[in-house]
């Protein structure tokens, strides 16, 4: 039963995020590493390297983290191990990726 809920949630996220990204466009030169995260830090590089608004959701769609970073380093050490959806906004562009924390 839990698998059905997970599939429904992932489908909801993919449809919702696909609609948002169609309007905004992708962030140029977007790179996120390491993934999976082992030490509680994720590095997010972009071509323009401007301030980025970060939203992280769990698989149920609950926002678990909202922050803005000025550099490249994002601290996720307070999140439990699991699978998350990471959304990054930089000016009028966005990127959505799966984030795995071990």
CATH number at residue 62: 2.60.40.3080
Q: Which of 68, 60, 65 is nearest to 89 (CA)?
A: 68
Reading the block at residue 82, the tokens are 């699991």
What is the spatial distance between Cα 38 and Cα 49, in angstroms, rounded to a whole number? 24
Q: Reduced to 3 states, what is the DSSP secondary structure of residue 74?
A: strand
Give the chain's residues under pLDDT 70: 1-24
Q: Which of 94, 96, 51 is nearest to 71 (CA)?
A: 51
Number of independent structural domains in the chain:
1
Domain holding 86, by residue range, is 2-101
Q: What is the pLDDT of residue 66?
A: 97
Q: What is the pLDDT of residue 16?
A: 53
For the entire predicted model, the pTM comes to: 0.75
Please report the sign of the dihedral spanned by the C-alpha atoms of residue 52, residue 33, residue 94, residue 75.
Answer: negative
């Amino acid at each position: 039963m839990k698998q059905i809920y997970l599939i429904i949630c992932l489908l909801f996220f993919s449809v919702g995020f696909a609609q948002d990204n169609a309007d905004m466009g992708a962030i140029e030169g977007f790179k996120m590493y390491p993934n999976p995260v082992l030490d509680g830090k994720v590095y997010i590089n972009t071509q323009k390297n401007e301030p980025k608004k970060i939203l992280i959701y769990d698989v149920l769609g609950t926002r678990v983290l909202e922050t803005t970073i000025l550099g490249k380093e994002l601290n996720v050490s307070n999140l439990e191990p699991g699978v998350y959806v990471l959304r990054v906004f930089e000016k009028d562009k966005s990127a959505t990726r799966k984030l795995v924390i071990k």
